[in-house]
Amino acid sequence: MDTPLRRDNLAALRCEGVGDFQYGLKTGDPFHHGPYAMLVREVAFHSAKVSNHDYLHLPEIIEDICNGYEHRFGESIMAIVCGGLHKCIVKFSSAKVLDDHLLGVALLYCWGEINNEEFSSYANTCFDAEAQRIEPHAILSVTKL
């Protein structure tokens, strides 16, 4: 439940900083800005198998903010935030030139599916928009789960 105190606390974090290492890493270093996306859709459903963050549970940066909030104010808002989110997969197009290793990742995923192999972390790779937003016209679909 949203309260004036929580709103004030969040405003304080926004002005004074979140105080979470991961948040600071993402916001302080362009290398970590993202936004990121998964090349193979199925990866999103197997985060534990590929040692990846579970983005269908909670976006990573939002988790960092929740952690910083709890550390500073002694209250977890994670459940409140999660309760207001809807799981979805956003498909978008990009003109960014990607390197050739992505073809191998996609082919490995296809080979594993055809041969009924266990999902492999080698079939996981991410698109990095390098701090460039995904423009609304580039969004092809949003699938709610």
pLDDT 10s digits, 45-99: 988 888 888 989 998 889 999 999 999 999 999 999 999 999 999 999 988 877 7
Reply yes or no on whether the pLDDT at 31 is more than 80.
no
CB hemisphere CA count around 25 (13 angstroms)? 7
Residues 24, 21: Cα–Cα separation, whole Å: 5
**pLDDT on residue 37:** 87
**pLDDT on residue 1:** 63
Q: Which of 21, 23, 41, 40 is nearest to 89 (CA)?
A: 41
Q: Do you know the residue count of the chain?
A: 145
Structure-block tokens of residue 56: 């269908």
HEC sequence for 38-94: ECCHHHHHCCCCCCCCCCCCCCHHHHHHHHHHHHHHCCCCHHHHHHCCCCEEEEECC
Domains of the chain, by residue range, sit at: 4-144
Reply yes or no on whether the pLDDT at 107 is more than 80.
yes
Q: 52 CB contacts (<8 Å, ≥6 apart)?
A: 43, 124
In whole angstroms, what separates CA 101 from the centre of its chain? 21
CB-based contact 61:131 (threshold 8 Å): no
Given the structure tokens 């995904």, which residue do they identify?
134
